[in-house]
Amino acid sequence: MTRGETIGPASSVTALVPMSALEDPDSPEASSLGSRVVPHLMRLPVGEANASIRLHQIGYGTQAHKDSGQAIGARTISDIAGFAPVTLHDLGVRTAGEPTRRPYDLLITNAPGPQAPVYLGSAPLVASYPIIPLSSGHLLAIGATSYNGRIFIGLNADRDAFRDLDVLAQCMTDALEELLDTTVRARAHRPPTRAATAEAKARVQARKESAAKKSAAKKAAAKKAAAKKATATKTTKKTAATKAAAKKRTAPDTDEPGETTS
């Protein structure tokens, strides 16, 4: 739009977004890391005017990967020993070279970095901007890295095709501010919650009392059943003892052996 081009509501661009996924440990190609990077094609709704709807559409596009059960969280990725953001970006670039289901317009990689300051000697690292190389036939690549509570985004483009790359950077900043403004406005204009009427309160109270009565009745029935079972057990034992005593009284006496005289 900043170039004066017409963009309709259905306009979109396709991005290749490498995502981390769990590996099958029984696979002959399984690595020691237990994870792999797989290509994921994502539709970016650049023609949608509402920033909040754009975000929801992108979230919906990533849901299939999350529902697969193979997704790996950023914290898990960053905890893998020896993994640095540059390594993850490199894996993403390699994935971009693999065959995909359909063509894509740009590559976007995202790698979590350390969330504590990193030092080289006594000098702290203040920023980390990833530079993603361009793959064959593509004009734009975007990399994002988180570091020490901040997000750093690096843009790399063909200098002949993207002479206005600084405009894209400004548009990204404007889009983020637009999303924040939309969220704040949505919260500010949220209708207040209506107070419950007396009739509604009475219904809720009646349901609670009914549930309490049912619970008390169940407990009473269980207690009565337990007492009945205990009484039946005692009666059975008493009857068995009575029968044993009666049997003993009715049993014939055995004669004792007599003395032998010579």
Q: How many CA atoms lie within 13 A of 89 on its CB side?
A: 23
pLDDT in tens, 167-184: 999 999 999 999 888 877
Look up residue 137 and give its amino acid: G
- Give pLDDT, residue 69: 52
Global pTM value: 0.59
Q: What token pair was written down for 208?
A: 């609670």
- Give pLDDT, residue 142: 93
pLDDT in tens, 8-54: 888 889 888 887 765 555 555 545 455 567 777 888 998 888 888 89
Q: How many CA atoms lie within 13 A of 5 on its CB side?
A: 6
- Give pLDDT, residue 262: 43
Q: What is the dihedral of CA 37, 61, 131, 176, to 10 degrees?
A: -150
The residue among 125, 120, 129, 50 whose CA lies nearest residue 89 is 129
- Give pLDDT, residue 158: 93
- Give pLDDT, residue 260: 46
- Give pLDDT, residue 195: 62
- Give pLDDT, residue 121: 92
Chain position carrying tokens 């995909």 = 100
- Give pLDDT, residue 261: 47
The distance of Cα 50 from the centroid of its chain, to the nearest Å, equals 26
Residues of the chain with pLDDT under 50: 30, 32, 71-72, 74, 76-78, 80-83, 256, 258-262
Chain position carrying tokens 């734009």 = 140
- Give pLDDT, residue 83: 47
- Give pLDDT, residue 166: 92
